[in-house]
Chain A
Amino acid sequence: MGLIYALFIQGLQMVLVLVLAPGLLGFTRKVRARLHRRQGPPIVQPYRDLYRLVHKEVVLADNATWLFRNAPYLIFATTWVAAALVPTFASGLHFSWAADLIAITALLGSARFFLALAGMDIGTAFGGIGSSREMLFSTLAEPAMIMLFFTVSLVAGSTQLSAVATFMVTHATLRVSLGLALIGLIIVALTENARIPVDNPATHLELTMVHEAMVLEYSGRHLAVIELAAALKLLLYISIIACIFVPWGMAGVNDDPLAMLIGGATYLVKLGVFAFMMVMFETAIAKMRVFRVPEFVGGALMLGLLGVLLLFVSRSF
């Protein structure tokens, strides 16, 4: 019985992230529009878009290969698996030991690898420019993420997100290193999700786009799957930050359904608050030049390294 319950909760988590992800995107768009004093599309618009896209016919370029056709599903699958392993409303899920923070980073790296290859498959100038820049950003964002996760795991004594969350609830303190990690993770999250100071998700101006340039040739259900993966990725980053820095309210794995409900409600609140803060930040800041981005992300790497260094020197930082 306990096993079935645990499996059910794990399955619920997988479905939950999938269902919530487009809604989160819709919410950010709505808030953004309101901040611009526009009415904005309804929150359910991303769901409608996805529904419309999956029912459309796919138009493939003449020389598109099997890699191009399969990449969206692989990108989606790796992102989904990563997102399913991050504790959202409950920690210590049944399969949470399958991958730790480093593995989650690497899973996202797999998704990026396929996305960049898909961008190069047709052999257009735009696809290449997107892939090239995406890989440039990743060369700094990925080590930054690893170092920031190092900081967190050195404090918590574990690289398992569930264990980190439990530690943070029981031993919550103010730490210099955790402060550094929070700022760094926000920078990485903005970069990896192609948010404003790095990339503008709402534009098709060729010189400013990175993510959009890579998926330019996609249409129909392929595009839908990629968009869904991008939404999942945003949800995943917010969930990670929430799970590490504000783990309160999360249910344990064996708690009763009521605790799970409370966990779910607090999770929704956390998502809303973080998304709102992100949009506020985006609205207040201008997009950077491409070659200013490495300095921005490099800052996150420095923060991670500084945090790890401080913790290596003295455990009380």
Chain B
Amino acid sequence: MERFSLDAAHLLAGGMVLVSFMMLYQNRILGLLNVFAAHAVVLALSVAWQAYIQHAPHLYVTAALALILKAALIPLALHRMVLRLGVHRTIETVGGIGLTMLMGMMLVALSMVVMLPAAADADPIAREDLALALSVILLGLLMMVTRQNAISQIIGFMSLENGLILAATGAKGMPLVVEISVAFSVLVAFIVIGVFLFRIRERFDTIDTQVLDDFRGGRE
């Protein structure tokens, strides 16, 4: 049973890494939103499983938060936003998908190298979960770096935050307050960014950050 619960935890965390890769692969914005919702669902499952094996009921709250906010509300809101902005077309990636995926692989390898020897004497659940969580965080960052579209950058940011929650729940004894505050800060950030997006669009007629950069260059 011990063995099984460990394996299930790994499987769920590995599933998050996998979904992160799917996000890197997905180059249509509505598809990306669906994959992000899946990411949040896997996160909720993973957190709930941690709650079950650690006997920590407060983690169920975290799981429920993830499920409601990130798997349902935010994707739905973003979906509406995308439709209203009229940007549901193919998005571009810098450097091509194959190369991005390769870089992602290297990042996963890197996080393994960093985490596994560093936490060699730690609890095996925490150790390997931490390595996977770090991979999710790095993949989220990679996503933010490689995408030009502001909405995919937001999604990259939120998947990064999912990785943080995964890391936090894997390590035993994280207080609920911290989690809730993290979750809410993300929500706030999301709202702020959402408002800004519309303002930017109104002003410049695009949300492509490359184009926005050009505007800045032109002003000088």
Contacts and interface: CB of A to CB of B under 8 A. Distances in A.
Contacts of A294: 98
Nearest to A171: B3
Nearest to B112: A313
Contacts of B17: 306
Contacts of B21: 299, 302-303, 306
Contacts of A310: 14, 112
A314 interface: yes
Given A174-B8, A314-B128, A305 B14 contact: no
A266 B55 CA distance: 39
Contacts of A316: 6-7, 10, 124, 128
A58 interface: no
Q: Which applies to chain A's interface (DSSP): helix, strand, loop or mixed?
A: helix
A198 to B, nearest CB: 16
Given A173-B4, A173-B7, A174-B11, A298 B105 contact: no
B128 A306 contact: no
Interface string A292-317: 00110011001101100110011011
B101 interface: yes
Contacts of B7: 173-175, 316
Contacts of B101: 298-299, 302
Interface string A173-203: 1111101100100000000000000000000
A179 B17 CA distance: 12
Given A299-B25, A313-B112, A313-B116, A176 B98 contact: no
Given A295-B97, A316-B124, A309 B18 contact: no
Nearest to B15: A179
Nearest to B18: A180
B108 interface: yes
Contacts of A298: 97-98, 101
B109 interface: yes
A312 B10 CA distance: 16
Contacts of B105: 302, 305-306, 309
Interface residues of A toward B: which range? 20 to 34
Interface string B62-101: 0000000000000000000000000000000000011001
B98 A295 contact: yes
Given A174-B11, A305-B105, A317-B128, A179 B18 contact: yes
A306 B108 contact: yes
Interface in B136-155: none
Contacts of A302: 21, 101-102, 104-105
Contact of A176 (B11, B109, B116, B124): B11
A176 B128 CA distance: 11
Contacts of B124: 316
B128 A174 contact: no
Nearest to B97: A295
Contacts of B6: 316
Contacts of B98: 294-295, 298
Interface of B: 3-4, 6-8, 10-11, 13-15, 17-18, 21, 25, 97-98, 101-102, 104-105, 108-109, 112, 116, 124, 128, 132
23 contacts: A173-B7, A174-B7, A175-B11, A176-B132, A179-B11, A179-B18, A180-B18, A183-B18, A295-B97, A295-B98, A298-B97, A299-B25, A302-B101, A305-B105, A306-B105, A306-B108, A309-B105, A310-B112, A314-B112, A314-B128, A316-B7, A316-B128, A317-B128
Given A179-B18, A313-B116, 7 more contacts: A173-B3, A173-B7, A302-B105, A306-B21, A306-B105, A310-B14, A313-B109
